[in-house]
Structure 1
Amino acid sequence: MAILYDGDATGYEIRKLSVEGEYSYFIDASYGSIYPALARLEKDQLVTSRVETQEGKPAKKVYSLTPDGRSAFLNSLFDTLEADEFRSEFLLFLRFATELPQSLVEQRLNERLEDIAGRIRDFDQLSSKHTHPGDQWVINYGRACIVAAQDYIQANKSKLIELARPDSGTAAAAE
């Protein structure tokens, strides 16, 4: 409902926004969960849908939040918030850095720093597109979190590399 609160969307657009778009910071929704949820919301009259024909393409179903849906969404924000979920393959990798060659640990840390630089650019682009004060606060919060990760990695990178195995032990470790 959060995505539809901002405007009409197809199931495909909802999925895209929740996986790689600006809503990917808040939710992760699969097609297997999106379409049943939309059907339930439509049954409950919180969402309506219409079919739009497209030239040379199959028709698409576009969903809209009803006034009752908008109210239900806003009311849901009063519910107790669940704890944030945080999972990271990067941190799992680093957890076992002592078992890995130094060059690989350094490579992964550098890759993460490059990824973070890209995310910071993404936040800066989002900031230029969204002028709503709430959007700005959230964007700035997200940017501050990712900058803190960048600062921590840069300040502690050498310590973790030192904990890793020297590269000369790579062949023995692989056996």
Structure 2
Amino acid sequence: MNVRTLCLSILYEGEATGYDIRRLSVEGEFAYFVEASFGSIYPALAKLEVDGLVTSRTVPQAGKPARKVYSITDAGRDAFAEELLGPLGDDVFRSPFLLLARFARILPAELVEQRAKEHLERLSASTRKLTDLAGEGSCSPADQWVINYGRAVLGVAEDYLRTHMHELTKLAKADPRKDAAE
């Protein structure tokens, strides 16, 4: 999925500004699909507008610059549905924690254990956030399915880290100063 499709997916649900699209793709309900920067959102919106898939209107604000609010057109709805009919790409998973785990052998064991505990807390916080979303009652059945999928994936990661954290810590150096002196 690309930024263009992400923009259409958010606009499919209702009007939004470029800022709204960025917020929803980073911390909102669309954050699990594609991450998008302002540098990619605004060119995508401009191209979508040229292609007749979205329209925009300028909304003045008191004491602030005017906002540009985008809406999806019928052609945009059709294009979005068409995009979903195509083959899906691979899921993309990136994790700074896994990079640390990969190189645990060059780090102090205390630091590796601390980072693992911090990561475990982030996983738990993400699970709680999804649980709260599921409990709000405003989710469609499809939203509920996606939330439950996310909770299951996070649950497996949490369980694995809780069960195997000691193995990761064991991979780390017991005393990095001693190893450096040798």
Aligned pairs for 1:85-124 within 5 A? 85-124=92-131
Please give the TM-score of this superposition, normalised by the length of structure 1.
0.94
Q: Equivalent residue for 2:162?
A: 154
1:170 matched to 2:155? The reply is no
Structure 1 residue 173: Cα displacement? 4.8
2:106–2:176 contact (8 Å) kept in structure 1: no
Residue 58 of structure 1 is matched in structure 2 by 65
- Are residues 1:67 and 2:74 paired? yes
SS in 1 for 2:143: helix
Distance 1:120 1:86 in 2: 17
Residue 10 of structure 2 aligns with an amino acid whose one-letter code is I
Note if contact 2:59-2:66 (Cα within 8 Å) is conserved in structure 1: yes
Please, which runs of 5 or more residues in structure 2 have no aligned partner? 1-7
CA distance in 1: counterparts of 2:95 and 2:108, whole angstroms: 20
Percent identity reads 53
Please state if 1:10 is matched with 2:17: yes
Structure 2 length-normalised TM? 0.91
Is the 8 Å Cα contact of residues 26 and 35 (structure 2) preserved in structure 1?
A: yes
Distance 1:156 1:81 in 2: 32
1:20 aligns with 2:33: no
Instruction: Look up the equivalent residue of 2:171 and give its one-letter code.
Output: L
Q: CA RMSD in A?
A: 1.3
Instruction: Give the direction of change, closer, same or farther, for the CA distance of 1:74–1:174 in structure 2 (3 Å limit).
Output: farther
Aligned partner (choices 117, 128, 140) of residue 135 of structure 2: 128
Unaligned residue ranges in structure 1 (runs of 5+): none
Q: How far did 1:30 drift? A: 1.0
